[in-house]
Copies of this chain bind each other. A is one copy, B any other.
């Protein structure tokens, strides 16, 4: 067994920190000079998030495929089409072999909402993911097939959240 292995990491659960921990790995990998690509599903195209600004400054590839979260979406068909197109874009990036680390942010929703098939998606990854590529997938409700396939799965669970006591999301910390 080789020491170097591309890990499949899943950050799931209902709490904060799923995307944030993926950003932490990006920070760490960038520190080691690794080639990194972030592919964001569902998140708003127009957002000027702290992480997007950081990625721009650092020259990290950052692809936004979505038009916002489904529950704020005015045109559901377009949301689904964009998400599926995003998965095709991700498949290209995965097979290209240009990256050491790829993050598929909020990707679980495509499977949990049945826009793409979980078993087919995992089978595709098993057949096509380069052995050395680290892959991080975030989002709630990670399907069992994905958990089965992954090397590292963490559930981020809420114990206490500031929204509960009426504190708004703070720039630079939560987005």
Contacts and interface: CB of A to CB of B under 8 A. Distances in A.
Given A1-B166, A28-B23, A173-B7, A154 B157 contact: yes
Given A27-B26, A158-B154, A159-B155, A170 B5 contact: yes
Contact of A17 (B4, B26, B156): B156
A156 B155 CA distance: 6
B173 A25 contact: yes
Q: How many copies does the complex hold?
A: 2
Contacts of A167: 1, 5, 7, 151
Interface of A: 1, 3-7, 9-13, 15-17, 19-32, 34, 49-55, 57, 100-101, 134, 147, 150-162, 165-168, 170-173, 175
